[in-house]
């Protein structure tokens, strides 16, 4: 009897333990289901409060991919009715536009701009700056995953490529001064009066290093490579504009310090970032190329035929290496020609069967050949072109409509010739011709 009672008690105890375990599992499941939801709702409320907390809204310099593109400043002013006022320096249109946004909850909390506004210009796959980004656009996003706050900044990661983006509190001046970013762009590109050559110079407090520097406006991207033998450091960076200078990403690291904010000096056209302990980085102009090449030798007497061509209706017209002065001179030629006529190409032939000459072709009129002789400046690593004849006639003067542009090829200081590292759609190598005494530079293909 006692044994039966013992079995009953044991059975009851086991049953109670099982029921308790089931209840505990149920509680755990409920806790597992409810905790993430509560957490996400808390984050949603936290983000909503933050977006509405700044009197003048928020500012973000959006580097969609700092390996190929620069930064685009966006200003946001959020309202509790789900609308947002937005402006950007993507292009010359810096006006403010109204659209809608939402704070969405999925696997995480995200800020999504749900109706079209300026931010969508960066995510439109049909809107791309260079052929390499065809069908990819500017690699931007309009949905940003919320990752918290730090030092008064809101931290997001982009949904498309998981890049960090920070919103900082905007000021009234940010909205007023946004158009000045596009004025600064002109200084980054460089005016016609500035030299064509630039360098990046770093100083870690004890040692100075120099790098060439080239900027492409359409992508807001700069390449910078060391010119020193045995020192292979490079700085390739996206550039964003500010009213007082530029911000770069990735930062230029010098002496263990990361320098990203550069201030513009209008007196000499330089941009300077200053650290501590004598650390600095300066982007500045130089009167001649940092690295001189022997590429001009293709055209010297006694060499095989060399043929270089610039064409108005092909990819050379869009080359980032063409200077503003070169474009201005093309416009002068067209303005001086009768209606229906325009310049079509400028080709340079070296050691052709009929000599060395600059070959100008046109729409609506016959071609012209400016025959020249070439002298070498071996020390300066450049060539000097001297007038010989027009179309073989030594008594004919330079046509008036070509005089302005042709004088740069006849620069008494000479012409630098350089093989560029980039290509212009086709596989043909790209060469530039640069006046030694002026900011005149023409891009060509080497066709022979």
Please give the pLDDT value at position 372. Answer: 98
For the cut 90, the answer to whether the pLDDT of residue 399 exceeds it is: yes
Residues 339 and 218 in one domain: no
* Beta strand pairing call for 306-311 and 342-352: antiparallel
Position 30 confidence tier, pLDDT thresholds 50, 70, 90: very low
- Tell me, yes or no, whether 14 lies in a domain: no
Residues 299 and 442 in one domain: yes
Residues 278 and 203 in one domain: yes
For the cut 50, the answer to whether the pLDDT of residue 19 exceeds it is: no
More confident residue, 6 or 415: 415
Enumerate the H helices of 315-376 as residue ranges: 324-336
Q: Which single residue is written with the structure tokens 């700069």?
A: 222
Domain extent at residue 79: 58-170
For residue 81, give the nearest of 48, 121, 110, 106 by alpha carbon.
Answer: 48
Position 263 confidence tier, pLDDT thresholds 50, 70, 90: very high
Residues 202 and 94 in one domain: no
- Tell me, yes or no, whether 37 lies in a domain: no
For the cut 70, the answer to whether the pLDDT of residue 258 exceeds it is: yes
Please give the pLDDT value at position 34. Answer: 59
- Tell me, yes or no, whether 63 lies in a domain: yes
Please give the pLDDT value at position 420. Answer: 92
For residues 415 and 383, is the Cβ–Cβ distance under 8 A?
A: yes
- Alpha-carbon distance of 407 to 358, in angstroms, equals 12
- Tell me, yes or no, whether 187 lies in a domain: no
For residue 65, give the nearest of 249, 337, 284 by alpha carbon.
Answer: 249
Residues 441 and 313 in one domain: yes
Instruction: Kindly compute the dihedral angle of the four CA atoms of residues 186, 136, 68, 70, in this order, to the nearest 10 degrees.
Output: 40
Q: Which domain-ending residue is among 122, 155, 170?
A: 170
More confident residue, 16 or 419: 419
403: helix, strand or coil: helix
- Alpha-carbon distance of 374 to 352, in angstroms, equals 13
Residues 299 and 438 in one domain: yes
The percentage of residues in the chain with a pLDDT greater than 70, rounded to a whole number, is: 92
- Alpha-carbon distance of 26 to 36, in angstroms, equals 16
Position 444 confidence tier, pLDDT thresholds 50, 70, 90: very high
- Tell me, yes or no, whether 365 lies in a domain: yes
For residues 440 and 416, is the Cβ–Cβ distance under 8 A?
A: no
Position 5 confidence tier, pLDDT thresholds 50, 70, 90: low
pLDDT tens sequence across 66-94: 999 999 999 999 999 999 999 999 999 99
For residue 432, give the nearest of 412, 408, 413 by alpha carbon.
Answer: 408
Residues 125 and 160 in one domain: yes
Give the CATH number, domain containing residue 212: 2.40.128
Position 287 confidence tier, pLDDT thresholds 50, 70, 90: confident
Residues 308 and 264 in one domain: no
Position 266 confidence tier, pLDDT thresholds 50, 70, 90: very high
The percentage of residues in the chain with a pLDDT greater than 90, rounded to a whole number, is: 83
Residues 381 and 440 in one domain: yes
pLDDT tens sequence across 291-326: 889 999 999 999 999 999 999 999 999 998 899 899
| pLDDT (mean) for 336-344 | 97
- Alpha-carbon distance of 234 to 224, in angstroms, equals 6
Residues 166 and 304 in one domain: no
How many folded domains does the chain comprise?
3
Please give the pLDDT value at position 366. Answer: 96
For the cut 60, the answer to whether the pLDDT of residue 12 exceeds it is: no
pLDDT averaged over every residue in the chain: 92
Edge-to-edge strand order for the sheet containing 197-204?
Answer: 208-212, 197-204, 279-286, 270-274, 257-265, 245-254, 237-241, 221-223, 214-216
| pLDDT (mean) for 352-357 | 97
For residues 351 and 302, is the Cβ–Cβ distance under 8 A?
A: yes
Please give the pLDDT value at position 131. Answer: 85
Residues 165 and 202 in one domain: no
For the cut 50, the answer to whether the pLDDT of residue 435 exceeds it is: yes
Peptide bond into 136 cis (omega under 30): no
- Alpha-carbon distance of 422 to 216, in angstroms, equals 12
For the cut 80, the answer to whether the pLDDT of residue 371 exceeds it is: yes
| pLDDT (mean) for 2-16 | 50
| pLDDT (mean) for 98-111 | 96
Please give the pLDDT value at position 26. Answer: 46
For the cut 60, the answer to whether the pLDDT of residue 59 exceeds it is: yes
End-to-end CA distance of the chain: 113
| pLDDT (mean) for 390-398 | 95
Residues 278 and 364 in one domain: no
Any idea how long the chain is? Answer: 448
What is the gyration radius of the CA atoms in the chain, in angstroms? Answer: 32
The β-bridge partners of 373 are 386
pTM reported for the whole predicted model = 0.77
């Amino acid at each position: 009897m006692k044994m039966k009672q013992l079995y009953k008690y044991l059975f009851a105890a086991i049953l109670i333990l099982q029921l308790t375990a089931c209840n505990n599992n149920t509680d755990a499941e409920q806790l597992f289901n409810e905790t993430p939801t509560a957490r996400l709702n808390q984050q949603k409320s936290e983000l909503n409060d933050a977006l509405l907390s700044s009197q003048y809204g928020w500012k973000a310099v959006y580097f969609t991919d700092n390996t190929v593109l620069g930064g685009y400043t966006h200003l946001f002013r959020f309202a509790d009715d789900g609308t947002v006022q937005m402006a950007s320096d993507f292009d010359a249109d810096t006006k403010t536009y109204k659209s809608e946004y939402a704070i969405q909850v999925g696997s995480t909390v995200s800020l999504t701009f749900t109706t079209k506004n300026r931010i969508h210009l960066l995510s439109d796959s049909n809107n791309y700056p260079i052929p390499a980004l065809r069908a990819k656009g500017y690699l931007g996003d309009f949905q940003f995953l919320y990752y918290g706050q730090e030092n008064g900044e809101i931290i997001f990661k982009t949904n498309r490529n998981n890049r960090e983006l920070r919103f900082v509190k905007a000021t009234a001046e940010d909205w007023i001064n946004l158009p000045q970013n596009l004025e600064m762009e002109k200084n980054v590109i460089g005016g016609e009066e500035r030299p064509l050559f630039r360098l990046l110079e770093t100083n870690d407090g004890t040692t100075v290093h120099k790098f060439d520097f080239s900027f492409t406006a359409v992508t807001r991207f700069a390449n910078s490579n060391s010119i020193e033998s045995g020192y292979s450091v490079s700085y390739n960076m996206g550039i964003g504009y500010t009213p007082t200078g530029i911000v770069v990403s990735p930062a230029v690291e010098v002496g263990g310090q990361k320098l990203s904010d550069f201030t513009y000096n209008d007196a000499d056209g330089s941009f300077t970032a200053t650290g501590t302990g004598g650390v600095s980085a300066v982007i500045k102009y130089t009167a001649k190329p940092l690295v001189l090449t022997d590429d001009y030798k293709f055209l010297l007497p006694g060499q095989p035929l060399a043929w270089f061509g610039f064409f108005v209706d092909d990819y050379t017209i869009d080359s980032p290496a063409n200077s503003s002065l070169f474009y201005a001179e093309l416009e002068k030629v067209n303005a001086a020609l009768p209606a229906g006529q325009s310049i079509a190409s400028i080709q340079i032939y070296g050691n052709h069967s009929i000599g060395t000459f600059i070959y100008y072709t046109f729409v609506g009129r016959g071609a012209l050949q400016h025959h020249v002789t070439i002298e070498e400046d071996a020390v300066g690593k450049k060539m000097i072109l001297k007038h010989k004849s027009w179309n073989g006639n030594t008594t004919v003067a330079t046509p008036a409509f070509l005089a302005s542009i042709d004088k740069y090829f006849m620069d008494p200081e000479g012409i630098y010739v350089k093989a560029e590292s980039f290509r212009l759609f086709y596989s043909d190598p790209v060469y530039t011709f640069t006046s030694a005494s002026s900011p005149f530079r023409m891009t060509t293909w080497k066709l022979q």
